[in-house]
Amino acid sequence: MPRFDALAEQFLNYLIVEKGLAERTIRSYGNDLSQYFSHLRAKGLDGISPGDRVHIVEHLLSLEKGLLSARSRARHLVALRGFYRFLVAEEMLAEDPTKGVDLPKIGLKLPEVLSVGEVERLLAAPDTTRPAGARNAAMLELLYATGLRVSELVNLRVQDVNTEAGFLRVMGKGARERIVPMGLPARERLLFYLDSARRRLLKQHDSGFLFVARAGKPLTRQGFWKILRKYADASGIRKRVTPHSLRHAFASHLLEGGADLRSIQMMLGHADISSTQIYTHVARRHLQEIHEKYHPRG
């Protein structure tokens, strides 16, 4: 297990790239973790373990004794929960010790959701007459059509996509495979990119990755983040737009349309989906029906 500072750096980088959190929020999380690590060091500890629950509770109590507000203590716990869940997801920790530790009772803000109109403007922003624009249009369309995490999007391989049947095979967190349907607009954008742009981007190179940059290398998460920010500005969207914004819009718009939570969870990869042939077939058919019926671009 790496030391405190190295773990914090990995986690904060994940928040920047994967979650797209604001710089001020990242600094606050970093300060919260630094205070917690100081608490652990004061107790003679130099590592993280699944048995840290008692230390987490003691730390929160010490903050209360220091007259820290309920909102600030809640933010501390949110930072610690995110940190420990990240370690569990990265398989650096077997269990999350923050389970069962309650937040102070305060009002919590709901994340701001992009409207269907704002998403439509964003998806229309790339210039598809250029190879990079055709690639970017396909990535944006696919992200909104499937609710993928940005890390899942940039790591897609050509064989993961079935444009004829209209689904993706995604390897998500914990090496769990899931099937995600995509609507006709995403399929058309993807086929246009594959037919007219990908080979031009590859030039003389080979690559198994679906979305490629220079020399056949996959587009990075940071690269896609810059692309998204550029198109959001060009679209005149005043809300903060991150890769997670499209994932959140995907789920919110399906839910608003009447889709059931269980189906949305399966598509997002929050539920454990069996990889057996029979179950995958049933899930694929059911999820395609849900997607076609309820997604704005299904």
Active centre residues (catalytic): 149, 173, 244, 247, 270, 279
- Single-letter residue type at 44: G
**What is the token pair recorded at 246?**
């499209």
CA distances in angstroms from 234 to 29, 131, 230, 280, listed in the order given = 30, 19, 6, 40
Q: If you write DSSP's letter for every residue of 183-223 in order, what string do you get?
A: -HHHHHHHHHHHHHTHHHHHTT---SBSSB-GGGPBPPHHH
Q: What angle do CA 237, 238, 241 make, to 5 degrees?
A: 70
Rg (CA), the chain: 21
Determine phi and psi for 107, rounding to 5 degrees: -75, 140
The CA distance from 66 to 16, in Å, is 30
CB 297 within 8 A of CB 144: yes
